[in-house]
A and B are shown apart, each in its own frame.
Chain A
Amino acid sequence: MGTIQRIWRHPILDFKRGRSVRFQFEGKRIEGYENESIAVALFASGVKVFGRSRRFNHPMGWFCGIGKCSSCLMRVNGIPNVRTCITPVREGMRVELQGRKGVLPDEPNIKVKKKEEYVRVLIIGSGPAGLETGITSTKLGLDTLIIDENPIPGGQLIKQTHKFFGSKKEYAGLRGFEIAKTMLEGLRKCGGRYLTETSAIGYYWKNKKHKFLAVQKQEDGYQLLEIKADNIVVTSGASENYLPFPRNYLPGVYGAGGVQTLMNVYGVKPGNKALIVGAGNVGLIIGYQLLQAGVEVKALIEAMPHVGGYLVHASKLARLGVPILLRHTIKEAKGEEYVNGATIIEVDENKQPIEGTERKLDVDLILIAVGLSASTKILSQAGCEKMFVQELGGWIPIHNENMETTIDGIYVAGDGSGIAEASTAMLEGRIAGAAIAEREGYNPEDARRIREDAFSELSKLRQSSSLKIVAEGKRKCQQRWNEVKSHEK
């Protein structure tokens, strides 16, 4: 299965690893680096099986790598259900596979402190949409707090090594991780606050105010935060879609986004020979990033008869010799404990496999890049109505053009409001931040101008052929919002 290597030289990135730390996994001593996640430290030292399936006892690995899918849950210092992919490793930690159920310890030795907060605007998620909401609302004079469950702020920008399209206002030409840095600097400059490793765990309505409970991980325990807020903006992003095929449970089958985190944030090579499923922008971009990390890309397959992403991204891969096989799908993964091959097969116009066209690929890595779904659970809990919009990637919270959901004072922006991309996520965040300021009477004139500028920029971007579909989805969404609101009256 080959040795997993840390990446020491990379054409774009310079990995700054912390001190080395020692911890225990299943009683064995393992070394990792400060500031990396438990899952990454385990993976880098060759641990790939993160658990076994309940019914068939199949070996399973991590999948999403960004704290959403729950396939990396382990017991850490006796506490079950810890998402190891977003929990930093610390000296002396005791990490164990948790078996089929997360059993609570008899005498939990957990310190929990409690703290209350009150802010004008609470933002959940620090990706491009969340940061832009934070910058805009703080600049307009609102007291704002951003919380994010990840240890590093910046959402999925931090793992993007390619230069972004767009116009100058949305940081065109900078690489994704540089955009995150620039935005965080902007937030700091205007005095905006953010907390990392802080998960929103529940929504309540108390004394006519929105209230969130959040848990913040701390060095020696946890802090329970009770955050009251006049306005909430949920910018919780999206999660990678899964794909059904035989043995898809095997370690070695990963979400493309998770591999980006492993490789580009933490500098660990995910494998040696990869197959990518999906020729949208995510699949095309990760193909190029794998090559930059020294991973061989055996093929990129796509069931559609054409590439879904931009031609310039596909061209970058094609001219480096990566076969882009259209009208192909994965038939099965091979391996017992870990992927050691894959069978691909051609499909016809109806996407049905054509027997006899099977081909075996010698790969140890299968990346799934077949689309994203908006993460909207916390909004459901708050009672925001949802609808299914094909153009926006599935179920999304119903919202209007100001990004307000069906509940007063609760807003949404970015991929969590419908799958699109980073520039438009920023613009939506700016709109939400400005709309709140306008309504609350904080520099309402400036706020209105900012909001209107963002509207016109957004509609310009959405005239491009790749985003037209988003414009259509958003139109349906607005229409539905109007219907819901007229019913309320």
Chain B
Amino acid sequence: MKNEPREIGYLTYDVLKEKIGLPSKERLAKGPVAIIECTEDIPCDPCVEACKLGAISKESLITPPTIDYEKCTGCTLCVDVCPGLAIFVINVNYKEEKALVSIPYEMLPVPERREKVDTLDRSGKKIGEGEIIKVRRGKRETFVVSVAVDKNLATEARSIKIQKEENE
């Protein structure tokens, strides 16, 4: 099968849609929502506990989590708790032409508000530029960085790269 995640090392939008089910257009239009990009049976459950609204559940410790998109408000509290750094929050309603994507971040330097950064997709390919809107220091030194990207990139932008200073 083409794009079999374990044969390329990352998930793709199509696989995600099939394996975990993505929020409906109507739900996306309502505002921020978490996407849990975790498809394997990892014995792990901090996300379930992190969600104060009970939107995330696991059938057993080893099944992948499922999320109730109607209960989820996109608060991002699960983003910095997930040990696999596999949860992202997207808000396609952020601005007329921009969506906001919140990403777990554990590298240096930590970007600053209003900074321009490159946005990368799941394979690490640059797909555009974005502006950092919010930087939250989450649990145990994991930052949650929210970046504004072109609306059509909301389901693809999953990483950022700091742009090198020009005078360097």
Q: Name the residue on B nearest A306 (C-beta).
A: B6
- Are the CB atoms of A326 and B83 closer together than 8 Å? no
Contact status of A312 and B38, CB under 8 A, knowing A319-B123, A322-B124 = yes
Q: Name the residue on A nearest B83 (C-beta).
A: A163
16 pairs of residues in contact across A and B, judged by CB atoms under 8 Å: A10-B108, A163-B142, A165-B43, A166-B44, A279-B9, A292-B106, A311-B6, A312-B37, A312-B40, A314-B9, A315-B122, A316-B85, A318-B123, A319-B121, A319-B159, A460-B43
- Are the CB atoms of A464 and B41 closer together than 8 Å? yes
**Shortest distance in angstroms between B7's beta carbon and chain A's nearest beta carbon?**
5
A394 CB within 8 Å of chain B: no
B53 CB within 8 Å of chain A: no
- Are the CB atoms of B140 and A175 closer together than 8 Å? yes
Question: B45, B61, B84, B108: which contacts A312 (Cβ < 8 A)?
Answer: B84
A213 CB within 8 Å of chain B: no
Candidate in B5, B106, B159 with the most chain A CB atoms within 10 angstroms: B106
Total residues of chain B contacting the partner, CB 8 A:
44
Interface of B, secondary structure class, is loop
- Are the CB atoms of B106 and A12 closer together than 8 Å? yes
Q: Name the residue on A nearest B85 (C-beta).
A: A316
| Cα distance A460–B59 in the bound complex, in angstroms | 13
- Are the CB atoms of B83 and A321 closer together than 8 Å? no
- Are the CB atoms of A321 and B124 closer together than 8 Å? yes
Residues of A at the B interface (CB closer than 8 Å) are 9-12, 162-168, 172-175, 178, 279, 291-292, 294, 305-307, 310-322, 324, 326, 423, 460-461, 463-467
B141 neighbours in A (Cβ, 8 Å): 11-12
B106 neighbours in A (Cβ, 8 Å): 11-12, 292
What 1/0 mask marks residues of chain B from 16 to 51 whose CB sits below 8 Å from any chain A CB? Answer: 000000000000000000000111111111100100
- Are the CB atoms of B7 and A294 closer together than 8 Å? no
- Are the CB atoms of B86 and A291 closer together than 8 Å? no
**Shortest distance in angstroms between A224's beta carbon and chain B's nearest beta carbon?**
42
- Are the CB atoms of A463 and B62 closer together than 8 Å? yes
- Are the CB atoms of B10 and A163 closer together than 8 Å? no
- Are the CB atoms of B124 and A320 closer together than 8 Å? yes
Candidate in A162, A305, A464 with the most chain B CB atoms within 10 angstroms: A464
- Are the CB atoms of A464 and B124 closer together than 8 Å? no
Q: Name the residue on A nearest B104 (C-beta).
A: A316
Contact status of A319 and B81, CB under 8 A, knowing A166-B44, A312-B42 = no
- Are the CB atoms of A461 and B62 closer together than 8 Å? yes
B158 neighbours in A (Cβ, 8 Å): 319
- Are the CB atoms of B140 and A326 closer together than 8 Å? no
- Are the CB atoms of A305 and B7 closer together than 8 Å? yes
